[in-house]
Structure 1
Amino acid sequence: MLLPAAAALILALCAPAPAAASPPAGSRVPLPSRMADTGGGDQLITAQARTPRATTGTVTWWQRHNGRWRRAGWATARFGAHGLAEGRTRVQGTSTTPTGLYDLPFAFGIAPAPPGTTVPYRRVDADSWWCEDNASASYNRWVAPLPPDCAAAESERLADHPTQYSRALVTGFNYHRPVHGRGAGIFLHVHGKGATAGCVSVPAGAMARILSWVRPSRHPHIAIGTAYGRTALTRY
């Protein structure tokens, strides 16, 4: 989900944060090996901010082979304009990124899928929307076209965001059994000009590499959280 138009215009005036020169220092034990749960698969994306108030951090993608997790890649990340919030109690419209462990139902984009992509990939056209209307039966769903019970003012026309939604992965946050009012349209997508309204974003090149890397047969998940505290990644 992107920020409302007025707020997005303000954020557009902000220059993107510079890329880090090297991945962040950390324990020699791979982060997934220190987590309470990784989803049971052999691929994991971690999106880590230093604190709940942070709007930047790191996305790392990991592969498990012969029982050992190894880092496959990493990139700078951006989070919600108001930081991160516990996913189980998050409230829609707070511009916070929900923490937790989620599956990755499918990908979408205005641009073609990168070479090697095997995750289901939907192309965005003029009738592609993400319904975020709490009164709609299609709440937190891709719809094409917009159904009568889903107000356009409460939803996102995906083609209106050609940079961010050039390529994206849908996260399973509030997706499979949606709780109205908790939030809709939480994706891993390409950087815009600043913080997000709740999604996680990465540079365009990193997004392409992630989509080429993800393999549904390996049951990939994304874990979003902080370095420590009640929303620490190790607690998920």
Structure 2
Amino acid sequence: MRAGAVALLSAACTALLAAGAPASATATRTTVTGTAATGVPLPYRMADTGGGDQLITARAPGTSATTGTVSWWQRHHGRWRRAGSAPARFGSGGLTEGRTRVQGTSTTPTGLYGLPFGFGTGPAPAGTVLPYRRIGSDSWWCQDNASASYNRWVRPLPPDCAARESERLADYPEQYARALVIAFNYRHPVRGRGAGIFLHVNGEGATAGCVSVPAGAMARILAWVRPAARPHIAIGTADGPTALTRY
């Protein structure tokens, strides 16, 4: 076949493919604010988003990073759109695969997790419909591996949960002014993997394994989350084995 004919046939095939391309493929040719260079919003590029219509993503440049970005996404009529974004902080030990994390390493566990309830020393932001618990002087998060209440909110501290192995929530009025429980190691806790991983308000620096954001962003997230939308949070890195898109 002549070169001119080949070129003509190639152009015709390209036109036909473009006409039949799905919307997601077409979107890759358009740059969208807050998305990757491909123009495809992050949730579309993920292996799993939890099956709901709300997703929070917490992304770090790499596993040694202690800062990154939290974004929250809403799916409406099958299309994901970013609802907000804020700078984030991670554990002082960086990030690590959640399934093999070790307690006490100050690492933030990567993975996809539910968001069972919110809590705080302050009141829930206006518009909050997610279950929200006010912190009292006897509110604790049990982190004692020997306790039946391991990785649970307790009030008061049960006899089998040592105070030295747990966190008295009222001792952190700035960080826990408002927070969301991240259901890491929560449904069926594995002893020694870790407890008390939250999305909360920034403190002075990196966290002990949680994800933190500015106070204003935390308030907006709490007011935005809707249990009926089955919200989840995905934590990961930009690439590599713990890439956010793998979860």
**Equivalent residue, structure 2, for 1:210:** 221
Gaps of 5+ in 2: 1-32
Q: Distance in 2 between matches of 1:49 and 1:217?
A: 28
* 1:117-173 superposed Cα distances (whole Å, 9 cap, x missing partner): 000000000010000001100000000000000000000000000000000000110
Count of residue pairs the alignment pairs up: 215
Q: Distance in 2 between matches of 1:24 and 1:154?
A: 41
**Equivalent residue, structure 2, for 1:164:** 175
Residues 54, 73 of structure 2: 8 Å contact kept:
yes
Kindly state the Cα deviation for residue 66 of structure 1 after the two structures are TM-superposed: 1.1
What SS does the corresponding residue of 2:100 show, helix, strand or coil? coil
Residues 107, 208 of structure 2: 8 Å contact kept:
yes
Within a 5 Å distance, the mapping from 1:178-189 to structure 2 comes to: 178-189=189-200
Higher RCO by CA contacts (8 Å cutoff, separation 6 or greater): 1
Q: Distance in 1 between matches of 2:144 and 2:114?
A: 23
What SS does the corresponding residue of 2:170 show, helix, strand or coil? helix
Within a 5 Å distance, the mapping from 1:60-75 to structure 2 comes to: 60-75=71-86
Residues 174, 203 of structure 2: 8 Å contact kept:
yes
**Equivalent residue, structure 1, for 2:124:** 113
Q: Distance in 1 between matches of 2:40 and 2:202?
A: 29
Residues 34, 41 of structure 2: 8 Å contact kept:
no
Shift in alpha-carbon separation, 1:27–1:162, aligned structure 2, 3 A = farther
Instruction: Establish whether residue 125 from structure 1 lines up as the match of residue 131 from structure 2.
Output: no
Within a 5 Å distance, the mapping from 1:20-59 to structure 2 comes to: 26-59=37-70
* 1:90-135 superposed Cα distances (whole Å, 9 cap, x missing partner): 0000000000000001000000000000000000000100000011
Letter of the 1:107 partner, please give it.
G
Kindly state the Cα deviation for residue 27 of structure 1 after the two structures are TM-superposed: 3.5
Instruction: Establish whether residue 201 from structure 1 lines up as the match of residue 178 from structure 2.
Output: no
**Equivalent residue, structure 2, for 1:223:** 234
Kindly state the Cα deviation for residue 23 of structure 1 after the two structures are TM-superposed: 5.7
TM-score w.r.t. the length of structure 1 is: 0.90
The structure that has the greater radius of gyration is 2
Kindly state the Cα deviation for residue 203 of structure 1 after the two structures are TM-superposed: 0.2
Shift in alpha-carbon separation, 1:159–1:66, aligned structure 2, 3 A = same
Letter of the 1:32 partner, please give it.
P
**Equivalent residue, structure 1, for 2:153:** 142
Within a 5 Å distance, the mapping from 1:70-81 to structure 2 comes to: 70-81=81-92
Residues 35, 41 of structure 2: 8 Å contact kept:
no
Q: Distance in 2 between matches of 1:24 and 1:234?
A: 13
Gaps of 5+ in 1: 1-21
